[in-house]
């Protein structure tokens, strides 16, 4: 079973992934054995499988928590009592996030540990992606196995590390990755077709690494202790002086096509099969009442044309049900797919997200070489451009609306526009930002058992089975009181 994980990784590199149920990812990452698999064979499988979890499980949870979608996989036409809305969170709640991401972190670590000095370019990519996805583990769970993790038989029961220390290690990984790219010589194997993200563009990878650094640092921007303030000041100063950041979205495409379900973009395949038939899951999704009112202008008086690309409309308006309400699906707007085709590129990080990261860093005084309003406006424009809809008078319409345009609380405006831009694409970012900043101010479902969304998720059952001596036991109520280190 353990050796089959790497056999699977090789198969994935050449023939794509098997798309099982979107929450059915239950492998134990702490049991991964090292195998003699070249980095160029292992890397594409790890990249695509990680995106699979991001684009499916994480995206579904983000859209639920952030009031983008109404309905659940069990019930649309009756009273909505799903855990996403009641917030009755247990060890099985979206456990595919932890279980799926951790498996691939082990594969990235195997690339890093490969016993050869000729694969520094591949190892640099693995360091970057390990940092990118491990950040989500910390953001969503807090403490996690890290320093003793991914050692296979050498340590099947890794200790849990302090989440702040993990964050610092992730930043160091990004520095190391850039240094490895810069130090690569003619003997290093170049990135080839196996680089299904940047197609061998090392400068693109370095810009991605620097942009992830900004995200890592911004998550910590609420910390006020002397050590953290000094750390953030120093790291941002270096980025401000020397950093080169993304100027386009980070996409992934190993050759997605519609020949079979398993060859499709994994996000698209949640909603439609290779024959062009909509899935049951797709038919159960509807717009939430809150996002409908927001896009229709009912809440703030501004009509947002992005509604035409995100939801089915009736008479020009989105029709939604408030989460927890007893409404029938026939009257509600279905969601539309921002990645509609089997061969659509997957979005790992959108250009909108990049601009909003830079806008926040500039607004907080960290990146003085950027103008926060310019980046804010660029983030909005990138969102409309990606969805292929006209902004019309949107920018002038929002100019005086507090929390939506560049007036009043700028951080609230950035977070609100980031929420709108990540709708259906990578909304887990908006959820994490809501935990961190309190914006945007979204209502809870009418069936919610708590007064706020959880600040973290419960550790999955797989950890209690495989690493019971180390996994923290967190009472449910504490999930709504104590978050990752950057929250507290």
pLDDT at 414: 98
Write the class of the CATH domain 2-259+341-350+422-480: mainly alpha
In our burial notation (b when 16+ CB lie closer than 10 A, e otherwise), range 268-277 reads bbbbbbbeee
- Return d(Cα 185, Cα 341) in angstroms, integer: 39
- Return d(Cα 1, Cα 31) in angstroms, integer: 10
**pTM score of the predicted model:** 0.92
392: which residues sit within 8 A by CB, 6+ positions away?
A: 305
Q: Give strand pairing partners of 349.
A: 250
Q: Which residue has the tokens 């594969």?
A: 107
- Return d(Cα 177, Cα 205) in angstroms, integer: 9
Q: How far does CA 206 lie from the centroid of its chain?
A: 19
pLDDT at 396: 98
- Return d(Cα 209, Cα 267) in angstroms, integer: 24
What are 169's two structure tokens? 């290690």
Q: Give strand pairing partners of 144.
A: 161
Please give the C-alpha separations between residue 113 and each of 48, 127, 151, 418, in angstroms, as whole numbers: 20, 11, 10, 37
pLDDT at 3: 35
453: which residues sit within 8 A by CB, 6+ positions away?
A: 65, 87, 431, 434, 435, 444, 480
Q: How far does CA 455 lie from the centroid of its chain?
A: 16
Q: Is 346 helix (H, G, I), strand (E, B) or coil?
A: strand
pLDDT, block means (10 residues), the chain with 488 residues: 36 38 38 67 96 96 95 53 88 96 92 92 98 98 96 88 98 98 92 97 98 98 97 97 97 97 96 94 91 97 98 95 76 91 97 98 98 98 98 97 96 98 97 98 95 97 96 96 95
Per DSSP, 152 falls in state G
What are 138's two structure tokens? 């910390």
Domain boundaries of the chain, sorted by first residue: 2-259+341-350+422-480
Q: Does residue 155 contact residue 31 with C-beta atoms inside 8 Å?
A: no
First to last CA, the chain: 40
What are 170's two structure tokens? 């992730």
Radius of gyration of the chain measured on its C-alpha atoms = 22
- What string of DSSP letters covers 242-287? H----SS-EEE-S---SSSGGGS-HHHHHHB-TTSPBPHHHHT-EE
pLDDT at 291: 98
Tell how many helices (H) and how many strands (E) occur in the chain. Answer: 19, 8
- Return d(Cα 72, Cα 86) in angstroms, integer: 12
According to DSSP, the β-strands at 160-161 and 317-318 are unpaired
User: How many degrees, rounded to 5, is the angle at CA 367 between CA 363 and CA 370?
Assistant: 75
- Return d(Cα 80, Cα 78) in angstroms, integer: 6
pLDDT at 153: 80
Per DSSP, 348 falls in state E
Residue 115's Cβ-count burial label (10 Å; 0-12, 13-18, 19+) is: exposed
């Amino acid at each position: 079973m353990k050796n089959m994980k790497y056999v699977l990784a090789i198969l994935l590199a050449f023939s794509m992934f098997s798309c099982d149920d979107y929450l059915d990812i239950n492998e134990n990452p702490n049991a991964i054995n090292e195998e003699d698999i070249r980095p160029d064979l292992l890397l594409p499988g790890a990249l695509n499988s990680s995106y699979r979890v991001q684009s499916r499980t994480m995206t579904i949870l983000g859209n639920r928590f952030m009031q983008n979608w109404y309905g659940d996989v069990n019930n649309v036409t009756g009273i909505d009592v799903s855990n996403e809305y009641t917030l009755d969170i247990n060890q099985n709640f979206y456990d595919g996030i932890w279980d799926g991401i951790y498996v691939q972190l082990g594969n990235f670590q195997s690339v890093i540990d490969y016993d050869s000095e000729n694969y520094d370019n591949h190892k640099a990519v693995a360091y970057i992606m390990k940092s990118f996805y491990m950040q989500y583990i910390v953001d969503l769970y807090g403490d996690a196995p890290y320093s003793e993790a991914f050692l296979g038989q050498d340590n099947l029961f890794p200790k849990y590390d302090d989440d702040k220390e993990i964050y610092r290690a992730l930043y160091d990984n990004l520095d190391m990755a850039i240094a490895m790219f810069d130090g690569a010589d003619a003997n290093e194997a170049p990135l080839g077709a196996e680089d299904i993200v940047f197609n061998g563009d090392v400068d693109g990878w370095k810009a991605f690494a620097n942009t992830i650094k900004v995200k890592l640092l911004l998550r910590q921007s609420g910390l006020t202790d002397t050590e953290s303030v000094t750390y953030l000041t120093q790291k941002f100063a270096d980025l401000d002086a020397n950093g080169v950041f993304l100027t386009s979205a980070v996409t992934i495409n190993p050759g997605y096509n519609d020949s079979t379900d398993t060859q499709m973009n994994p996000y698209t395949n949640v909603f439609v099969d290779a024959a062009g038939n909509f899935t049951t899951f797709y038919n159960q999704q509807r717009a939430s009442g809150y996002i409908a009112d927001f896009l229709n202008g009912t809440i703030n008086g501004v009509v947002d044309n992005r509604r035409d690309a995100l939801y089915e409309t009736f008479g020009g308006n989105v029709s939604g049900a408030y989460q927890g309400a007893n409404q029938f699906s026939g009257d509600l707007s279905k969601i539309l797919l921002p990645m509609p085709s089997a061969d659509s590129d997957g979005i790992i990080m959108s250009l909108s997200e990049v601009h909003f990261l830079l806008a926040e860093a500039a607004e907080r005084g960290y990146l003085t070489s950027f103008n926060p309003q310019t980046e804010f406006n660029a983030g909005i424009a990138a969102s409309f451009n990606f969805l292929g809809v006209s902004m019309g008078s949107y920018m002038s319409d929002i100019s005086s609306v507090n929390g939506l345009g560049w007036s009043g609380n700028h951080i609230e405006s950035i977070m609100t526009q980031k929420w709108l831009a990540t709708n259906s694409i990578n909304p887990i970012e908006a959820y994490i930002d809501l935990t961190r900043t309190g914006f945007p101010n979204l209502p809870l479902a009418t069936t919610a058992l708590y007064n706020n969304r959880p600040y973290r998720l419960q550790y999955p059952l797989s950890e209690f089975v495989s690493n019971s001596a180390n996994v923290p036991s967190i009472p449910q109520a504490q999930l709504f009181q104590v978050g990752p280190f950057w929250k507290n």
